[in-house]
Structure 1
């Protein structure tokens, strides 16, 4: 397990905590549909009474914000009460997977990569008809992409997550490096190598780059946040037509990940997590969740798009969201609560507590951090340029949804391990082909994770 903040926000956008919780099922080849179709299992109910809500026990500030939102909801009307149950992060997904259909809550928290598995195993209900059309249409395209399985929307999100290069303007200026501030002007991978050469001459240890190695490439960080953007930016994918062979081990991916590994000589391992704030490096490849620490640099802190490997800069997106249990008998009340969670006031309250980018269009546009002209506008702009799924990527879109499949645990397990091996010096084609074979074998053992 990585050393990361205990949080529902983008910090666990990079962890395998949720995905690994279901990996035991996915990796053994014993998976399969659970309760089947969810549509007939829910009932609208009276729209009143008590609804049960499950969520991950996050940071104290997040928990306090969630409880405040629930209190505001109950005060806004007198007919619906909320019974909240918080689970430790390492127990949550197991609790959902092991729950009998009738024991599922009316509303539940979920991490993006787990959604397809929950749907596959009959844990979630589609939201259409229970959540208002206004709420659904106000979700940003990137978060809607994460929360859509087989063309049905199963979740809505208050927050999102994204990546960038954090830069020290002082060190960049001292090296004579002009830096891009929009996705369209991102450095090419070759230009980035030249930038690193210049910066190596001005940083104390001669290693100007932090790739967040402390999170571990072999985990979710590798898949979502380093290998993923590199693969997508180079014109590649992890899966194509539900197969990894020919996609994950493509020539494009071999080229891109080999280039990425060539930057190891410029990279501070960052074992203490202080490489950037201490001034040891000039550039840090990481996500929005480090801003509360990095903002101490003040006006010296700049955000820069990730390098372009040929098809435009790319970032992964997606994080925790909210949905309905597949067996709720009061979907009308659950829908009203989800509508309230997605209101501008609720989204502001929650994202102010954890610093995450808002996942609704109206709250994002009004954000003091991510809105137009604000310090983190780049990250907000990137999330507004949604690619959707891997097979929908263009040169001009930026934020990509991780593969939406019930087999995601085997995908992230193998992609992360392959990237770690390549970074350690293994031949990229060999590492990616071995990963592709393992993924395809697992998918074959599980009938392609199709109902």
Structure 2
């Protein structure tokens, strides 16, 4: 009898098992997430996270298939641009009542993703856009070093690039990652539209691209983009991504993910410069891979406990230190090795606070991104910019109409 009672007690004392999915990524990020899971499991005995990693190339399809088969895990990571689509499809649970409000209020915009005003995912890190250059080279060439108080205007920067080209300093003075396609196009260049006062879609209703994406403010930035190619200020198709490291370009417009390689190579000579100001201040896209809870999860309290655990300042700081990625709260930044006041990458954190604009939080974002990508690639290859963008507008609005507005109405 005693043995039976002890056996029953052991069963009831066993922690509840929760399944977690994470996309496969670099060793540093993956190991940082695994270590956080282990710390959570060790910190309490009510719940235990069992994780699995899935290939990034088919991750979205895996989520969709698992949802149809009612086999989604309780916890899953999701790329910020896809959150609204997953929420609209009914795969994700709103988090508003599950995440501590005080914690949420301390997070930067890039740590939170919404659909129709409800929170659906939270993240431990962000990335930002920047211009990299070298102090010694800009000083030698007598080029002003821009900062957050006075970033480069589009006109000033274009003048700088033209002078570098005309003086035969380099063949192509700027690298804008023309080797990259896919999401880089929308992530990297839609902030130029937003800086000019335009956008990819009307954010008051999320159904109208006409007059916004092809409006005069957006077209101002798009024409500037085309000028880079017509005047051969950037290479139409770079042969590799080593141009800045090898001194073939003066400026590299890219993401903060390149900071470690460039810091290792150039030390204190590396300059971190704000993105270009097209009239309304520099802008950067916010949001990266984040965590959500599936609507089918039977242990929402346990899943929420894990997400709240991840948002502790010390957990955010540990993830940042392990990966080099941008932390998402003041308290966490103060605990890091690279993002405290005066630290070498502090500017990235300041950019994330001051310049961030979320990619449109609508289920239509995948078609917005792919249509914008096609248009920008066509423009790069010589197509008339308004014709290319008008075609993107038509594709976007047709898709939204077919899907009955993705839950949005005409509104204002």
TM-score norm. by structure 2 comes to 0.90
1:203 touches 1:280 (CA, 8 Å); kept in 2?
no
Question: Does 2:150 align with 1:156?
Answer: no
**Stretches of structure 1 lacking an aligned partner (at least 5 in a row):** 1-45, 386-397
Q: CA deviation at 1:48?
A: 5.2
Aligned match of 1:64: 31
1:230 touches 1:309 (CA, 8 Å); kept in 2?
yes
Q: CA deviation at 1:202?
A: 6.7
Q: CA deviation at 1:318?
A: 1.0
C-alpha distance after superposition, 1:54-96 (max 9, x if no partner)? 1111112222221211111111112211110110101211111
1:109 touches 1:323 (CA, 8 Å); kept in 2?
yes
1:164 touches 1:303 (CA, 8 Å); kept in 2?
yes
Choose 318-327 or 237-246, whichever is displaced more.
237-246
- Among 149, 165, 181, which residue is 2:147 paired with? 181
Aligned match of 2:57: 90
C-alpha distance after superposition, 1:299-329 (max 9, x if no partner)? 1110111111111111111100001110111
Aligned match of 2:223: 258
1:47 touches 1:331 (CA, 8 Å); kept in 2?
no
For 1:365-376, list aligned pairs within 5 A: 365-376=334-345
1:181 touches 1:378 (CA, 8 Å); kept in 2?
no
Question: Does 2:306 align with 1:337?
Answer: yes
- Among 328, 331, 351, which residue is 1:359 paired with? 328
Aligned match of 1:191: 156
Q: Distance in 1 between matches of 2:259 and 2:65?
A: 36
Question: Does 2:199 align with 1:237?
Answer: yes
- Among 267, 286, 293, which residue is 2:234 paired with? 267
Choose 124-133 or 299-308, whichever is displaced more.
124-133
Question: Does 2:188 align with 1:225?
Answer: yes
Aligned match of 2:165: 200
Aligned match of 1:128: 96
Q: Distance in 1 between matches of 2:155 and 2:101?
A: 45
TM-score norm. by structure 1 comes to 0.82
The alignment of Structure 1 onto Structure 2 pairs a total of residues equal to 388
Aligned match of 2:272: 303
- Among 266, 287, 290, which residue is 1:321 paired with? 290
Q: CA deviation at 1:198?
A: 3.5
CA RMSD in angstroms, aligned pairs only: 1.9
Q: Distance in 1 between matches of 2:298 and 2:14?
A: 10
Question: Does 2:384 align with 1:427?
Answer: yes
Helix, strand or coil at the partner of 2:357? strand
Helix, strand or coil at the partner of 1:262? helix
Q: CA deviation at 1:133?
A: 2.4
Aligned match of 2:348: 379
Aligned match of 2:79: 111
Q: Distance in 1 between matches of 2:142 and 2:364?
A: 46
Q: Distance in 2 between matches of 1:333 and 1:276?
A: 46
Question: Does 2:165 align with 1:165?
Answer: no
Question: Does 2:411 align with 1:446?
Answer: no
1:174 touches 1:202 (CA, 8 Å); kept in 2?
no
Aligned match of 1:346: 315
C-alpha distance after superposition, 1:203-230 (max 9, x if no partner)? 75332111111103xx21111112x011
Greater Rg, structure 1 or structure 2?
2
**Stretches of structure 2 lacking an aligned partner (at least 5 in a row):** 1-12
1:73 touches 1:337 (CA, 8 Å); kept in 2?
yes
Q: Distance in 2 between matches of 1:204 and 1:382?
A: 30
Q: CA deviation at 1:132?
A: 2.3
1:139 touches 1:157 (CA, 8 Å); kept in 2?
no
1:222 touches 1:416 (CA, 8 Å); kept in 2?
yes
Helix, strand or coil at the partner of 2:152? coil
